[in-house]
Amino acid sequence: MRSLKRVSPHIILLIYVVVVLFPFVFVLFSSLKASNIEIAERPFAFPTSLYFQNYIDAWVKAKINVYFFNSIYLATTSAFTGVLLSAATAYALTRMRFNKASKAIYQFVLIGMLIPGNVLFIAQYILVMNMGILNTHWALFLPYTAGALPISVLLIAAFMKSIPNELEEAAIVDGLGAFRLFYKIILPLTLPALVTVFIVNFLGSWNEYLLANFFISKDELKTLPTGMVGFRDAFQTNYALISTGIVYSVTPVLILYAFLQEKIIEGVTAGGVKG
């Protein structure tokens, strides 16, 4: 009785874990199968012979490589720019002595967190069109970077406020200017918060679908989320190949997660509970 009581929560939780992981395992197995027939006949079975041809086909023929590098490049540059801009702003707001202006600017930037993203979607589309950058990577880079600013400024400013004054006093007495103080002293100390914010922004851009779908129609500029949907629609019948695409798209995030799970959980929950 007592041992049953101890084991039953684990049984329920393991069922949940299986429900979460099953689709991934299924897709991984399917990606190594030669055809739909093998998937259909034995959907739960390990592939009979490992068929890696799908990985080559998907990467080159289905242009997953193009989408993949577009995603990497956009997510990295926009996350990096977002972190740099918000760190600079957070530094000016929390550390420099313009208290009145800083307070007003801080409040003004936080208004952005009340506005849910897709409310602005059409107006942003028109804006991007008027700027003449529709169908270029700028059309995603700018909204992605801007979209992350309010929460990033909030998180980094909260962290910078907790840095003691003595350090920068000593640095200034040693003759550092405001600019060098920022990147030599404050920025390294803020690194943990910067990493968190970078991860949240990176994942946000890596996964974004709505803007990517409407702001980019050129195939060679598409990112993974939209490229994958186009890929599915083009290869409707070849599920082994579609599975391979899914594996390519999910694996980098899972690898990142394996190394930085605590950071990612911390960052994503902080980013999600902003409202």
Partner 1 sequence: MPGSLPHRLSRNEGRQMKHTLRNPWVYLLMIVPTLVLYCLFFIYPMVTSSFYAFTDWNGLSNYKFIGFNNFIDVFNDSDFINAIGNNMLFIVFAVCVQVPLIIFFAILIANVRKLQRLYKTTVFIPSILSTSVIGILWGFVLHPNIGPVNKLLSVFGIDPVYWLADSAWALPAVLVVNAWQWMGFYIVLVLAAILALPKEMNEAAEIDGASGFQRAWYLTVPLIKPIISVVVMLSISGAMRVVDIVLVMTQGGPVGATEVMASYLVNEAMGVNPNYGLGTSISLIIFAFALLLTALYQSTFGKVKE
Determine, following the binding rule CB under 8 A, whether residue 79 of this chain makes contact with partner 1.
Answer: no
Minimum separation from the CB atom of position 56 to partner 1 (A)? 20
What lies within 8 Å, CB to CB, of 25 at 6+ separation is none
Chosen residue from 62, 197, 216, 246 binding partner 1 by CB under 8 A: 246
Question: And the tokens for 21?
Answer: 């992981």
Q: Which stretch binds partner 1 (CB under 8 A): 53-61, 132-140, 154-162, 236-244?
A: 236-244
Instruction: Mark out the alpha helices in 120-238 (DSSP H runs).
Output: 121-130, 138-161, 165-173, 178-180, 187-189, 191-207, 210-215, 224-234
Between CA 49 and CA 58 the distance in angstroms is 18
Q: What token pair was written down for 235?
A: 């290869």
Assign residue 135 a region (left: φ > 0; alpha: ψ between -120 and 50; beta: otherwise): left
- Residue numbers 26-45 binding partner 1 by CB under 8 A: 26-27, 30, 36, 39-40, 43-44
Tell me how far, at minimum, the Cβ of 65 lies from partner 1, in Å.
16
Taking the complex as a whole, the smallest distance from the CB of residue 37 to partner 1 amounts, in Å, to 9
Conformation bin of residue 193: beta by default, left when phi > 0, alpha when psi is -120 to 50: alpha
By CB under 8 A, what part of segment 49-78 binds partner 1? none
Range 108-127, binding partner 1 (CB under 8 A) = 109, 111-112, 115-127
Residues 203-232 close enough to bind partner 1 by CB under 8 A: 203, 206-210, 213-214, 224-226, 228-229, 232
Stretch that binds partner 1, among 53-61, 154-162, 189-197, 241-249 (CB under 8 A): 241-249
Candidates 1, 4, 9, 107: give the one binding partner 1 (CB under 8 A).
9
Q: Which of residues 152-181 bind partner 1 (CB under 8 A)?
A: 153, 166, 169-170, 172-173, 176-179, 181
Rounded distance between C-alpha atoms, residue 83 and residue 72, angstroms: 16
Amino acid type, 20:
V
CA distances to 202, 233, 242 from 227, rounded to whole Å, are 18, 10, 11
CB of 35 to partner 1, least distance (A): 10
When asked if residue 138 is in the footprint of partner 1 (CB under 8 A), the reply is no
Give me the half-sphere count of Cα atoms (radius 13 Å) on the Cβ side of residue 174. Answer: 11
List the structure tokens of 226: 């939209």
Instruction: Return the number of the residue (91 or 198) whose C-beta is nearest partner 1.
Output: 91
Q: Which stretch binds partner 1 (CB under 8 A): 47-55, 60-68, 106-114, 132-140?
A: 106-114
Q: What number of chain residues touch partner 1 (CB under 8 A)?
A: 101
Tell me the torsion sign for CA atoms 153, 157, 160, 166: positive
Q: How far apart are CA 2 and CA 174, in angstroms?
A: 67
- Contact between 12 and partner 1 by CB under 8 A: the answer reads yes
The footprint of partner 1 on residues 186-205 (CB under 8 A) is 203
Q: In the window 256-275, what residues touch partner 1 (CB under 8 A)?
A: 257, 261, 264-265, 268-269, 272-273, 275
Retrieve residue 58's tokens. Answer: 């998907």
